Amino acid sequence: MEPWYASRETVKAALDAKETARSNAQVDRALEAASREIEGCLHRVFYPVLATRSFDWPSPNRSRSWRLWLDGNEVAELVELVAGGVTIPSGHLLLYPSSGPPYSRIEVSLDTSSTFSSGDSHQQAIELTAVYAGCALREADAGVLAGAVATVGATTVDVSDGAAVGVGDLIRVGDERMVVVGRQMLDTGQDLAADLAASAGAVSVAVADGSGFSVDEVILVGAERMLVVDVAGNTLVVKRAWDGSVLASHSSGADIYAPRRLVVERGAAGTTAATHLSGAAVARHVPPGPVSALCVGLALAQVLGEQSGYARPEGRSGGSSTVSEGRRRTQEFGVGLAALWDAVYASCGRKGRVRAV
């Protein structure tokens, strides 16, 4: 599975869809379609991929430097450039634009004519190992591993923060990247420190260590979900009966669960699966804001369209007719998507250029 540019949880929150609604498959299908549509239209991938790619050797320019246009293979981080079997020292490589990644061209400032013998073919003569991405690399802190990953074949990892990562996100632990394909409830290791009444007004949940929980994390006690809206010392301030669950009373000592077990695809985006120690930092890749917003908008449009059978209500006939509420909302939503596309093209679209000789 390739990463998405918004998580399942983000779209469900925008839809106000309850976990009990079991709409995961529909939302996932919409996110996959939206993410791939964005890539197809912008001709860029907005997540990092570690790879070695081959390029033809370019002609030298007037200054005798060598200029390699990357043409749809923008680089976020350069690892190594090998030309004709010879590794070019990093000090001789200049990446452009100088404002920072993604880089669209590389100039080699030394005379590399000796790199090739007269019989060398210049086709596919350059091997460029890099982290390829159509955006600068941004990561958000996503807590730490709550347990060791002892084997390279493990398909689940336990994390300390159930609110920091969602399904579809790309995470990194050490040098390995993983795609999150599911989440499961995990015992947090803490229990209720006091009885909790079956009342929507009973919003203070006493625990042994409040620092072990995060705002916006969903906890599970018995069969009732609760949203953590604040943490005050060792008291969690929550919204009761969250996600369509049923309000209930709970006794002191009841186990507290949270969605901290991630089902993952290992060794994603060109990396290699490895073992990791408990407590290792977890980072989440952050796509460009306009790209994420557009992905959510496209996914919402598809889900809502499927739910309505893609119906388009018509306005009433007559000179003084008014457009129906459904049509008005459809029109407003369409304008909103157009504005999102404009924002993405302006900030992340590939601009035209003229190659210098």
Per-residue confidence (pLDDT) for residue 337, from 0 to 100:
85
Q: Give me the sign of the Cα torsion angle 215, 217, 222, 224.
A: positive
Same domain, 266 and 334: no
Residue range 160-167: mean pLDDT, rounded: 96
Residue 115 in this model has a pLDDT that exceeds 70: no
| pLDDT at residue 20 in the model | 66
Are 83 and 165 members of one domain?
Answer: no
Domain count, the chain: 3
Phi and psi at residue 172, to the nearest 5°: -130, 135
List the beta bridge partners of residue 287.
none
Question: What's the mean pLDDT when you consider all of the chain?
Answer: 87
Of the ranges 132-136, 191-195, 294-298, 312-316, which one carries the lowest mean pLDDT score?
A: 312-316
Tell me the pTM: 0.86
Last residue of a domain, which of 82, 112, 132?
132
Same domain? For 228 and 336 the reply is no
- Per the model's pLDDT, the better-predicted residue between 233 and 319 turns out to be 233
Domain range for 32: 1-44+287-357
pLDDT digits (tens, 9 = 90+) for 234-273: 999 999 999 889 999 999 999 999 999 999 999 999 999 9
Note whether 170 and 233 are same-domain residues: yes
Q: Model confidence at 11, in pLDDT bands (50, 70, 90)?
A: very high
Cβ atoms of 291 and 4 within 8 Å: the answer is no
Under 8 Å between Cβ of 53 and 73: yes
